[in-house]
Structure 1
């Protein structure tokens, strides 16, 4: 029985850790399970949760939004006060630290990987930043990352490790000379104005995209870009493309598949993967389409 209790406590701690580091909505946390556990135990569990969340090394190094931490601690204190009469000083001290803190323009989300490593992303704290609602992590990106982890064969030789013969980008505190690293290039690509020579220079092995089907204009631009990408692959096989998106509006999804059919790009829905590695909205319907780009896809749009 004690072993089962320890397993349940560890599972609860893991759930709080993953959700907090990824700054998921507070409603998604297992508060009811926590309250039930607190009725049968002392305050040690709350101290463990504090270490796995607010005082987690990742959180200290890459802090989430100040407002988010403040709301989380306030809810944690409410759950404690509902069960125990004695205050827990550590909780109030942690809250006092963030009550006077200023909200920065950038916050962080951290995702724990099955390997034990983690990935931290920097995001804007503003709802609208630089004229866009982007600069945040969307569910389809996490869904696509989960699928990629389960299907490594799809990405064989796409990011092969090899000595970097080009001039490496220097990172403070890291010696990049004579080291092996994936060759990754970040480049601006305008979907509407990208030319065939520009696309041919990329020579992609695979194309991935997440949450890019949010309005009719982007759909037409994306399909047009994929047409041009297909046409410029003269002496090599055209890459497959995987597009992940959350189905918010069925008409938008229908428009995308209709446009693909009109220009002759075959597609198929990718089967859902088994494991859920990252915390995100469970109620949202997310899917991935595999597009088979063809070298002889015709250019231009029908009048």
Structure 2
């Protein structure tokens, strides 16, 4: 049975906005639909969807594209991820997987899955202080800020270039970063957004080095929930990550330990098993959260993306 027209059109729109590769667009379904029942209106719907995101008529968009192709290839592009609420997360991303000596300038699939899970479980984040480790360019955190109503969201990373891009993306989505209360070298202190702050959530960007952060600094963050996506990819950083999680477990003072959720794409099973082994060695219990059957952001679903809940 052919896919209904609205669903097929929406898939085209979502993939186009997120700058997915052309091969990921649903060409086979479109061809099957047109062969089984020629429907020119379907193509018109798709063109209208694409035209609706441009400020000018589609012909002028094609002319602008031609001009761009004549220029030097850009190292960055803009991607737009549609949220179920109808809102959108807009990001400036690197066109290369590794740029400036870091992989943190692109959005990885584990970040998409973690955001999808968060949107399905907003009560975990509502009116709470969230600390995100290895925020990268900000997709997961921005999606949570726009939909889950956290009281405070602390984006953190340690790479200067990533922090700069992260700050730009936060402002691009209408948030004003505030000074970091625990003096972990906030990237966005004193900077202002052109326009109005569109959310009530307090947003902070902090430089956070897992190997050197102190228990006092972590205590000052007063995090209720800690999240991270695609931070388990290198054996060399697993010890630093586990050590920081141990500091979080011992710096709670009279407060409850934060809830911890870490999403990972299992590229190397040995590395992932090493992380689980180090958690066991540190006395940190963990359990796997059941996989989601579908994801609004994972257009090409990968079966090897998992979420662990840690009990520190």
Calculate the TM-score normalised by the size of structure 2: 0.73
Q: Give the superposition deviation at 1:254.
A: 0.6
Mapped partners of 1:279, 1:265: distance in 2: 30
Match of 2:44 in 1: 47
Instruction: Tell whether the 8 Å contact from 2:93 to 2:106 is kept in structure 1 after alignment.
Output: yes
Match of 2:237 in 1: 218
Deviation string, structure 1 residues 245-269 (Cα, Å, up to 9, x no partner) = 0111111111011000101011111
**Aligned pairs (5 A) from 1:1-303:** 8-39=4-35, 40-41=37-38, 43-53=40-50, 55-57=51-53, 95-101=62-68, 102=71, 103-158=73-128, 159-160=150-151, 170-174=192-196, 176=197, 181-293=200-312
- Aligned-residue CA RMSD (Å): 2.8
Q: Give the superposition deviation at 1:114.
A: 1.3
Compare the two structures and name the one with the higher strand fraction.
Answer: 2
1:282 partner SS = coil
Instruction: Tell whether the 8 Å contact from 1:247 to 1:284 is kept in structure 2 after alignment.
Output: no
Deviation string, structure 1 residues 42-73 (Cα, Å, up to 9, x no partner) = 644333323323x342x659xxxxxxxxxxxx
Question: Residues 95 and 38 of structure 1: is their aligned pair in 2 closer, same or farther, counting only changes over 3 Å?
Answer: farther
Question: Residues 56 and 137 of structure 1: is their aligned pair in 2 closer, same or farther, counting only changes over 3 Å?
Answer: farther
Mapped partners of 2:202, 2:103: distance in 1: 30
Mapped partners of 1:245, 1:56: distance in 2: 35
1:119 partner SS = strand
Q: Give the superposition deviation at 1:133.
A: 2.6
Aligned residues: 253
Instruction: Tell whether the 8 Å contact from 1:139 to 1:280 is kept in structure 2 after alignment.
Output: no
Mapped partners of 2:96, 2:203: distance in 1: 29
Question: Residues 228 and 60 of structure 1: is their aligned pair in 2 closer, same or farther, counting only changes over 3 Å?
Answer: farther
Give ranges in structure 1 of 5+ residues lacking alignment.
Answer: 62-89, 294-303
Instruction: Tell whether the 8 Å contact from 2:233 to 2:272 is kept in structure 1 after alignment.
Output: no
Q: Give the superposition deviation at 1:140.
A: 0.4
Q: Give the superposition deviation at 1:137.
A: 0.5
Mapped partners of 1:24, 1:204: distance in 2: 34
Mapped partners of 1:160, 1:94: distance in 2: 40
Greater CA deviation, 132-141 or 269-278? 269-278
Deviation string, structure 1 residues 141-198 (Cα, Å, up to 9, x no partner) = 010011111111222321238xx9x889632122x5xx97111211000011111111
1:186 partner SS = strand
| Bigger Rg over Cα | 1
Give ranges in structure 2 of 5+ residues lacking alignment.
Answer: 129-149, 153-175, 180-189
Mapped partners of 2:259, 2:60: distance in 1: 53
Instruction: Tell whether the 8 Å contact from 1:150 to 1:273 is kept in structure 2 after alignment.
Output: no
Calculate the TM-score normalised by the size of structure 1: 0.75
Deviation string, structure 1 residues 222-251 (Cα, Å, up to 9, x no partner) = 001111111111211110210000111111
Instruction: Tell whether the 8 Å contact from 2:109 to 2:298 is kept in structure 1 after alignment.
Output: no
Question: Residues 91 and 189 of structure 1: is their aligned pair in 2 closer, same or farther, counting only changes over 3 Å?
Answer: closer
